[in-house]
């Protein structure tokens, strides 16, 4: 029997330990990460999203960039440290609701349906920590929680040498899983860049919800 409570605790400890070190991934300072955010915004700018959901928002850097395209954003991260940092850096005038929560606890379902769902370098960690069936169920539930005509954006770093969690064939398998759950691929592109001397490619996939 799978102990999902234990898996959730492991996910919490992994993320919280990293965020207590500060911006471990350099999401707000790395030229690669900043350029990546610009590309994601380009992929979304032709739409308007009254209600948006971001899963794995970290300290909210991209959330704040996304907010002008929406009327309201709900952003989850499992790390209380990350969410505290996000709240401290966000103007009260911005319609962003930062929440502490594990994606796999499905606390985000109650506020749906969503016009946009975003997961940015999140699925690779969920796929590492949780069984494949749980990830498949997540794909189904996100599809059910997205409004017909809405969008789901998934962006994942790929690398064959630096981090085995980012193996290209594994990342593409996650992409295919969401397509098989009922999302339709509207646009897909790769973004290439270098971070700390390592060449990366980000697979950016924008899905539509029929």
pLDDT: which is higher, 161 or 208 = 208
CATH says 4-208 is which class?
A: alpha beta
* Of 208, 206, 11, 201, the residue nearest 105 (C-alpha): 11
- pLDDT value for 103: 95
User: Which residue carries 């911005």 as its tokens?
Assistant: 94
Give the pLDDT band of residue 12 (cuts 50, 70, 90): confident
- pLDDT value for 1: 60
User: What would you report as the CA-atom Rg of the chain, rounded to the nearest whole angstrom?
Assistant: 16
161 to each of 132, 158, 170, 199, 200, how far by Cα in Å?
23, 9, 13, 10, 10
Give the pLDDT band of residue 5 (cuts 50, 70, 90): confident
Q: How far apart are CA 23 and CA 29, in angstroms?
A: 9
């Amino acid at each position: 029997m799978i102990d999902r409570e234990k898996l959730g605790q492991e996910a919490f400890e992994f993320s919280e330990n990293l965020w207590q070190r500060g911006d471990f991934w350099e999401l707000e300072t790395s030229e690669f990460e900043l350029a990546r955010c610009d590309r994601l915004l380009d992929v979304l700018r032709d739409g308007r999203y009254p209600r948006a959901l971001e899963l794995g928002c970290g300290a909210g850097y991209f959330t704040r960039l996304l907010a002008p395209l929406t009327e309201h954003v709900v952003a989850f991260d499992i790390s209380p440290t990350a969410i505290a940092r996000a709240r401290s850096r966000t103007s009260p005038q911005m319609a962003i609701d930062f929440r502490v929560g594990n994606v796999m606890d499905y606390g985000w379902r109650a506020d749906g349906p969503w016009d946009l769902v975003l997961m940015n370098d999140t699925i690779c960690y969920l796929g590492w920590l949780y069984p494949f069936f749980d990830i498949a169920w997540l794909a189904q539930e996100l599809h059910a929680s997205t409004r017909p005509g809405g969008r789901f954006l998934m962006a994942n770093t790929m690398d064959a040498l630096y981090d085995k969690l980012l193996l290209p064939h594994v990342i593409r398998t996650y992409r295919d899983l969401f397509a098989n759950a009922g999302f339709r691929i509207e646009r897909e592109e790769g973004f290439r860049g270098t971070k700390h001397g390592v060449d990366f490619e980000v697979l950016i996939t924008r899905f539509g919800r029929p």
